[in-house]
Amino acid sequence: MAQHFRLPSGGRIDRSKPVSFTFNGSKIEGYQGDTLASALLANGVHFVGRSFKYHRPRGIMSHGSDEPSALLSVSRGPGRTDPNNRASVVELREGLVTKSQNHWPSLNFDVGAVNDLFSPVFVAGFYYKTFMWPRSFWDKVYEPFIRAAAGLGVAPDVPDADRYANRHAHCDVLVVGMGPTGLAAALAASETGKRVIVADEQAEPGGSLLHASEETIDGKPAAEWVKETLAVLDARENVILLPRTTVFGYYNHNHVAMTERVTDHVVDPKGAPRERLWQVRAGHVVIAAGSLERPLVFADNDRPGVLLAESVRVFVNRYGVLPGRKIVFATSGASAYQAAVDAKRAGAHVTISDLRLEADCGPELAKARAAGVEVLTAHTVIGTVGAKRVKGLIVAPVTGAGAIGPRRTLDCDCVGISGGWTPTVHLFSQSRGKLAYDEALDAFLPGTSAQAETTVGASHGDYDLARCLTAGYAAGAKAAGSAATARFEATPTLKGFQPVRVMPTDANPAKVRAFIDFQNDVTAKDIKLAVREGFQSIEHVKRYTTTGMATDQGKMSNMNALGIVAGQLDRPLPSVGTTTFRPPYTPTTFGALVGPARDALFDPIRTTPIHDWAVEHGAKFEPVSLWRRAWYFPKAGEDMHAAVARECKAVRDGVGVFDASTLGKIEVVGPDAAEFMNRMYVNPWLKLEPGKCRYGLMLKEDGYIMDDGVVARVAQDRFHVTTTTGGAARVLNHMEDYLQTEWPDLNVFLTSITEEWAVIAVQGPKARETIAPLVSDIDLSPEAFPHMAMREGRICGAPTRLFRVSFTGELGFEINVPADYGRAVWEAIYESGRKFGITPYGTETMHVLRAEKGYIIVGQETDGTVTPDDVGLAGMIAKAKADFVGKRSLARQDLVASGRKQLVGLFADDPSLVLEEGAQVVADPNQPIPMKMLGHVTSSYDSPNVGRSIALAVVADGRALMGTSLFVTTPGGFTRVSVVDPVFFDAKGERINA
């Protein structure tokens, strides 16, 4: 094919740059500056897809982002394929591979088209009426069927190969749209020197002026004015011009989201992003988004070859493409006459069929006739002839009384339809502005603004070019705080239309397929049926019929649907209301929303200073909040069980080393530090001496355990507090909350030092001997440095806060060193401990070792409903303290009642059986269902040191059940367990003081 429908001259395409692409495997040529739609039309291709529900042949209807039908799969290469691209907005680029959708086996012969024959069955609410019974059909028949039928196009199945960027920006004035109104607004706003951003969804700025054939502005051809205006704006440092940028979301505080298509139009992006998401905070937003043309509703108005009238004009003037040789314009308004005149001038045979009476027409009538166009006034459209391409338009005269005269078929290969215009109020509506119905314009117009916003020009129902320019300029100036105005002289615009919901017809309306929503295959009779079935609100009609619910959000269909509902209900249109517009204005890629947040940048992955060492030594890792923690260190051939068993033995028999750097740490400093600690924790702190540690237990106000950790008093006015890994931020916020809101009088300050210190736990009988050669300025002897003491000194020359503490029950040290020294100190300890068989261990072994000692883990033994007494820690509570967070709640009736779940140990009868964590505990497995649950298993491991499996559980009145038997659920049924003391190893606690 060789662009037989390309005009010999004209248009804004670059004829020196031919571009080729494929459509369903055929190679097609166009020019730089074409869209897929204009290139396809230049080659006479109208039929480009099958409709969603009925699989009817569909063509290109529009030149812009409202296109409902011409949805193509577009591939720019591997990983760069996506479905449902509107042919009218995809810029032509060498090598694009495009395909039509929703057909099998081919576009021309589609088995699914049989749906069209059964259309009387597929009425509104078909799903709700059909898939109700038999009930048993749902899982096996209906749901699979619906799932297979749902969706349009094929989702990509390989990762997106493109880069997507994100950019926050601030400006004084954001102008949406670069048509005449937007450009005039940008001129005025930027005149003031204020920061201005101007965005337009099209590749080329200019809007309607790009297809203006006769229009002049201040004596210049419109295109010339655009060029000069853009040059002025471009030269201004305070202006950012963003073509190819769709403003798709208008949120609170003038936060406006827009997608810039950066490189889709170039063959090699050279690493540049495909799209850039702009998040603009604008002082004032000027919406100059133009208006959308309405289609006419008549039988078979969806045939390929039927376009919007203005779109025909765009293809002729802007792209140099004649969509047909014999074109009929069917209209109820003036603007289509200009399209007809331009098509005629371009060489087409043109007829106009206008619903309006001759007397109701304006100057457009004489103009068209003078240009040699035949005009049939007072004519309705009955239907079309043709299937995969329109071959004729059936029209008939209609009298004032509504009687319809004899039909007449106008042969044609293209139809331009126009049912008037609808202002684009989507963004205004998103901004929460209130719409007001204007009867003269038959449109909802922006009423009261909810934010610093002005909607102007065609978006405000102003269709005259000179008025748009003048109003745009004034709005831009005002948005920038100026009162400047400017007068523009421009060619008067042919405007005005007679609203019509459904074209009068002599056919049986119940049989006629007149499409309202082309993308979702909703016809006028579907809407009428919905109203007959009792739906009165447009929001309900919308959901029941799915009109306006396709990806085009009813850009073409909304007003016609509203009008039909109002007509059926015999109510004024505003009382039916309008649906709410929601972002995005047009479909937005996931890539743009995700931006750089993928792969390594998906989320910060926090690692410790010792992480790389663990990687080098083969550790397996587990995620703990954002941290990656070494889980266990398998040797060759070891599975997790074997590795953990070896690590557990090594710590009790020799020495193990563990990276505890992720522990949350807070430095609490100030003269009132001890008083503050006293109020935050259940324990007493005032008398804790500097150099001593204490296990601290923190409650929420409700009396339940929130967090725990060892705290060292570094100095009279300084505490080094540790928290759980996952609780670090929560605890700091909790403390700050109280400090700032309850006790602002306390002189104490909180600083997060989690990341200041790397923490190396050295645990086991050989721990002291391991670190001794490295430590200076600290006497490590048991007498000088007992359990639960803290000393400051040096290790490997680096400053250290050395804690003698243990979460294993062994002699142990937790060595805090400034983080950058962490790895070097760790390596030195590892070397020093080699002669004792030092074993690095991970979080799993840490969990087993502490469970052997019955030490709780917050979040494992506790779940936000556990009190200190429940886990046997009531002794921690300082009885003498007047108050602490949670104290009053501990006296609540239900917290002191008997029957609360208490921490116990469980031994399964089978010592090799490791119970499941979370398994339920019951007294009698033979009781009737529902059984009485006594509690659940909180921790469960195989313990090599105890020589059998062990479990911790919370069980109602558990401490009173010591020595009795209970039953625990397993995947295979109940198993019997004995209730035992939760300390399984070294119950006297002698080893820790070694």
Partner 1 sequence: MLDDSLYARRVSPLDGAAKPASLPGGVTVRQLKPEARFSLRVKAGAPADAAGFALDQKINSIVVRGGRWSARLGPDEWLIGGPEADAQLIAEEVEATLRDRPHSLVSVSHRNVSLEISGANAAIALNAGCPLDLSDAAFPAGSATRTLLGKCEIVLIRAGAEPSYRVEVWRSFSTYAHGFLVEAAFGLQNAA
Site residues for partner 1 per CB under 8 A: 163-170, 195, 262-263, 265-266, 268-273, 276, 279, 281, 595-597, 600-601, 603-609, 612, 626-627, 667, 669-672, 747-749, 751-757, 773-774, 776, 794-798, 817-825, 828
CB atoms within 10 A of CB 343: 27
**Rounded Cα gap, residues 197 and 177, in angstroms:** 10
Report the nearest approach of partner 1 to the CB of residue 470 (Å).
31
Classify residue 972 by burial, with Cβ atoms within 10 Å: 0-12, 13-18, 19+.
exposed
3-state DSSP assignment of residue 614 = helix
Q: Give me the DSSP letters along 233-247.
A: HHH-TTEEEETTEEE
Report the nearest approach of partner 1 to the CB of residue 192 (Å).
14
Question: HEC profile for 926-985?
Answer: CCCCCCCCCEEEEEEEEECCCCEEEEEEEEECHHHHCCCEEEEEECCEEEEEEEECCCCC
Beta carbons within 8 Å of 89's beta carbon, 6+ residues apart: 35, 64, 65, 67, 201, 202, 586
Which is nearer to partner 1, 50 or 823 (by Cβ)? Answer: 823
Which is nearer to partner 1, 746 or 857 (by Cβ)? Answer: 746
Q: Which has the closest alpha carbon to 344: 319, 320, 322?
A: 322
Handedness of CA 801, 805, 811, 814 (dihedral sign): negative
Report the nearest approach of partner 1 to the CB of residue 145 (Å).
42
**Rounded Cα gap, residues 627 and 610, in angstroms:** 12
Which is nearer to partner 1, 151 or 773 (by Cβ)? Answer: 773
Which is nearer to partner 1, 596 or 726 (by Cβ)? Answer: 596
Report the nearest approach of partner 1 to the CB of residue 692 (Å).
20
User: Kindly report the CA angle at 202 between 197 and 205, in degrees rounded to 5?
Assistant: 60
**Rounded Cα gap, residues 65 and 202, in angstroms:** 9
Say if residues 459 and 446 touch (Cβ distance below 8 Å).
Answer: yes
Report the nearest approach of partner 1 to the CB of residue 269 (Å).
7
Which is nearer to partner 1, 54 or 250 (by Cβ)? Answer: 250
Say if residues 556 and 307 touch (Cβ distance below 8 Å).
Answer: no
Say if residues 859 and 706 touch (Cβ distance below 8 Å).
Answer: no
Which is nearer to partner 1, 536 or 752 (by Cβ)? Answer: 752
Report the nearest approach of partner 1 to the CB of residue 252 (Å).
14
Report the nearest approach of partner 1 to the CB of residue 816 (Å).
11
Report the nearest approach of partner 1 to the CB of residue 157 (Å).
25
Which is nearer to partner 1, 175 or 282 (by Cβ)? Answer: 282
Report the nearest approach of partner 1 to the CB of residue 961 (Å).
44
The encoded tokens of residue 538 equal 């447009």
The encoded tokens of residue 408 equal 């007449």
**Rounded Cα gap, residues 102 and 389, in angstroms:** 18
3-state DSSP assignment of residue 914 = coil
Helix (H) or strand (E) holding 350: strand 349-354
Locus of tokens 């355990």 = 705
**Rounded Cα gap, residues 966 and 953, in angstroms:** 12
Report the nearest approach of partner 1 to the CB of residue 719 (Å).
11
Residue 498: beta bridge partners? none
Residue 353: beta bridge partners? 330, 376
Report the nearest approach of partner 1 to the CB of residue 153 (Å).
26
Which is nearer to partner 1, 253 or 988 (by Cβ)? Answer: 253
**Rounded Cα gap, residues 904 and 961, in angstroms:** 9
Handedness of CA 458, 462, 465, 468 (dihedral sign): negative
Which is nearer to partner 1, 152 or 165 (by Cβ)? Answer: 165
Report the nearest approach of partner 1 to the CB of residue 825 (Å).
5
Report the nearest approach of partner 1 to the CB of residue 263 (Å).
5
**Rounded Cα gap, residues 189 and 167, in angstroms:** 22
Which is nearer to partner 1, 139 or 268 (by Cβ)? Answer: 268
Which is nearer to partner 1, 23 or 757 (by Cβ)? Answer: 757
**Rounded Cα gap, residues 360 and 496, in angstroms:** 10
Report the nearest approach of partner 1 to the CB of residue 278 (Å).
10
The encoded tokens of residue 231 equal 């040059």
Which is nearer to partner 1, 672 or 942 (by Cβ)? Answer: 672
| β-pair type (839-840, 812-818) | unpaired
Which is nearer to partner 1, 141 or 267 (by Cβ)? Answer: 267
Handedness of CA 392, 398, 403, 408 (dihedral sign): negative
Which is nearer to partner 1, 117 or 600 (by Cβ)? Answer: 600
Which is nearer to partner 1, 362 or 726 (by Cβ)? Answer: 726
Which is nearer to partner 1, 575 or 740 (by Cβ)? Answer: 740
Report the nearest approach of partner 1 to the CB of residue 791 (Å).
17
Helices within 684-838 (DSSP H only)? 728-741, 767-771, 822-832
Report the nearest approach of partner 1 to the CB of residue 625 (Å).
11
